[in-house]
Structure 1
Amino acid sequence: MSNDLHLPPATGTGVGSMPGTDAREAARVATEAPQGIAFLPELPARGPGADMTGRTLGLLVELYAQLEPSGWRFADRPGRDTRRARSWLGEDLDAVEEFTQGYAGHLKVQAVGPWTLAAAVQTRQGEAALRDPGACRDLAGSLTEGLAAHLADVARRVPGAQVVLQLDEPSLTAVLRGQVRTASGYRTYRAVDRAVVESVLRDVVAAVDVPVVVHSCAPEVPFALLRAAGAAGVSFDFGLLTERDWDAIGEAAEAGTALFAGVVPGTDAPLSDPPGSVSGVRALWRRLGLAPGALGSSVAVTPSCGLAGATPAYARAALAHCAKAARSLVDNPE
């Protein structure tokens, strides 16, 4: 297994989603603007199947889903939604392949993780797969097999790339706390045991054989659990950290876990000077007593979450800003 992730100094990257519907323009920006880790963009404005959940459901092997008025639900066979999701993914891969000829750096692809997916897709009875441990196991197994094929395709298309997988798990904390609401909205599903959550994530991470970063833009990211599951990196909204998270951040940094700090607004907003955007990152690093010289190669700079809600011009500017802010962590770590 190759799950170590050594960040290039001054790494900026995106979270995944981009605005608009132009796959070629999104790919151009996602491969040129970050100047650290290029990424495969998602364009949810195209509609169902281009969103992160629909795209990931299209990757599943021998499991299918279709969009109902109540949300995504398992189906007996692949239908229009599956075909559309796969078609759009192919279009996005073609575009990224075009703009990465001769590329030899990191390339990040994103997919919804097993627990957020289990909270988002319904069984035929209309309740989330999260309710049924057997459905969760089947879903995780199908996802793992689909991810392996997807990653192999990316590696074939961009042979010089060091592929990184990002698992999006914004619902993970809610799954652990029993806060995912049922279809009626009046109750919540029972909390899933931490050992079970960790075990499933560990199995996925171990099977894909590339470095895995787990992303959540929700509060109270379970850093220790993700590290124990084998995640090489954790991506989070820096503005949502509280003092309760500090020790876990310090332990992750000391253990060599790559930290993807979301500090740049994900929707159109005035951008401060790049060093100012990461002033909080520097301050926390000092407070934790971590080596200043390690900051620029331990922390990547990202938007706080996806950029789907931004204008195209702002998305380009935000990614370029991330790169400049990351450079300032190298040039001026203290």
Structure 2
Amino acid sequence: MSRLVTLTGDGTFRAPTAEEAQRLGLPEDPHLAALMRLRALLGDDLEEQIGTRLYLPSALGLDETDHLLPASLALLAETTGDLVSYGWRLGPGSGRAWLHARELRERMLDAARIALLGYEGPLMVTALGPATLAGATFLQSGERALGDPGAVRDLPMLLAEGLVDHLTALRERVPGAAQRVLLREDAVAAIHEGRISTPSGRSRYPAVPAPEIGALWRSLFVALDDYGLDARSVTLGVGADLRLLRAAREAGARRMAIAPRRLPPLSTPVGRALWEGIAEAADDGCAFEIVVDPRPGGRLGPEVEMMLETWRRLGHAEADAAGVTVIAHTGVSHGLHTGQVDPSAQPAVSTLLDEAALEAMLRIAPTWAERLAS
């Protein structure tokens, strides 16, 4: 039987503290401890109709290099850089922080060999997408990569090559896993709408048209398909813009992540057009995954209700949403989406998922499944 609901996380997981590890009987190594806890939470389907998608955490928040941006940069093939006063810089030469970010990635791969021994379910790897990386990183000149068309064009291929190497190494360590990829384009809306400030702070970079962003995504999809990972195994965050949704579809995306909090209401012309675009894509076989904050006060209930109510107003039954995947997320990307938060800024550890957030999602999942089954 196909799953009514599948549960996963956004690629982050706050490492258990030494006290928590001792209480839970976990090893002292934080990478091994985190993976063991994630396997305990998401390593098995809850029941016949509720599935889970285990993921390899890209960020544990152990230090300033242990977040999603440096973890994604550490994937870039044949690329060097470092952490400087104004953010993460690409080239020349690899500094201590850059090397440490790569070391953390290797530690997680080594931990996977032990913590995921014998595992044969889905296993997801997470990285920031090329558009967000362009807005979040700097060049040697101090300019953002976004301001250099050549650097922007190179990012998808560098990321794709690095992802393929990473997935190959992961397959060697966990050979039975069904690999998946989550590409988080947290800042794509800000880049598309020209809300990223220049280093001086006195102006903003020009808006990047959706077709140009779609071309970046297309390069990634082609490279991952050559590796053997088709588009249905890759989830792409597309923001809340009809033009980006269409660009993603034209790029070959078949699975996209959307956040209910960001979607305009159906009562507005923009909202009506976007929702109809989502429904059209779904009818064409595209799968949508919804990004929600399951923590207390995270507005999970109202957001899911809004999604289902809109779905009904578009002429669909709730049961038509069966098979949806829910991605737990703390909401940190919402500020990036609106341009209120600089994508190059260092996130707080509190923005990472923790065990309590995942447990909250697991508790409410049977209610979702019951509604979708009716």
TM-score (norm: length of structure 2): 0.77
Return the match for 1:87 from 98, 103, 125.
103
Q: Which has the higher contact order (CA 8 A, sep 6+)?
A: 1
Counterpart pick for 1:142 among 155, 158, 163: 158
Post-superposition offset of 1:213: 0.8
2:257 maps to which residue? 235
Instruction: Assess if the C-alpha contact under 8 Å between 2:171 and 2:177 holds in 1.
Output: yes
Q: Distance in 2 between matches of 1:188 and 1:275?
A: 36
1:190-213 deviation digits (Å, cap 9, x = unpaired): 122322211111110121132211
Deviates more, 1:60-69 or 1:315-324: 315-324
1:203 aligns with 2:219: yes
1:329 is aligned to 2:324 = no
**Separation of aligned partners in 1, 2:314 and 2:34:** 37
Deviations 1:7-26 (A, max 9, x none): 84320110112223632232
Q: Secondary structure at the match of 1:123?
A: coil
The superposition leaves residues 162-186 of structure 1 with CA deviations (integer Å, 9 ceiling, x where unpaired) of 1111111111112211211111111
Correspondent of 2:246 among 224, 238, 246: 224
Partner residue in 2 for 1:3: none
Partner of 1:31: 39
| 3-state SS of paired residue (2:211) | helix
Contact 2:61 2:352 in 1 (8 A): no
Percent sequence identity is 30
Report what 1:316 is aligned to: 355
Could you tell me which residue of structure 2 aligns to residue 283 of structure 1? 309
Q: State the Cα RMSD in Å.
A: 2.7
- Counterpart CA distance in 2 for 1:16 and 1:162 is 16
Matched, 1:256 2:272: no
Q: Distance in 1 between matches of 2:38 and 2:349?
A: 13
Task: Tell me by how many angstroms 1:325 deviates.
Answer: 3.6
Q: Give the 3-state SS of the residue equivalent to 1:309 in structure 2.
A: helix
The match for 2:70 among 31, 54, 57 is 54
Task: Tell me by how many angstroms 1:37 deviates.
Answer: 0.5
The count of aligned residue pairs is: 322
Contact 1:303–1:322 (Cα < 8 Å) also in 2: no
Matched residue SS, 1:45:
coil
Amino acid at match of 1:13: T
Gaps of 5+ in 1: 1-6
In structure 2, stretches of 5+ residues that fail to align are 17-29, 46-51, 266-270, 333-347
Q: Runs ≥4 in structure 1, deviation > 6 angstroms?
A: 274-277
Change (3 A) 1:125 1:198: same
User: 1:188 — aligned with what?
Assistant: 204
- Pick one of 213, 216, 220 that aligns with 2:235: 213
Q: Which residue, 294, 311, 323 being the options, matches 1:297?
A: 323
Structure 1 residues 145, 178: closer, same or farther in 2, change over 3 A?
Answer: same
Partner of 1:14: 9
Aligned residue identity for 1:309: S
Cα deviation, 1:240-278, whole Å, max 9, x if unaligned, reads 22121322322232223222212334xx52589x98873
Q: CA offset at residue 311 of structure 1?
A: 8.7
Q: Residue type of the partner of 2:203?
A: R
Whichever residue aligns with residue 278 of structure 2, its letter is I
SS in structure 2 of the partner of residue 321 of structure 1: helix
Q: TM-score, normalised to structure 1's length?
A: 0.86
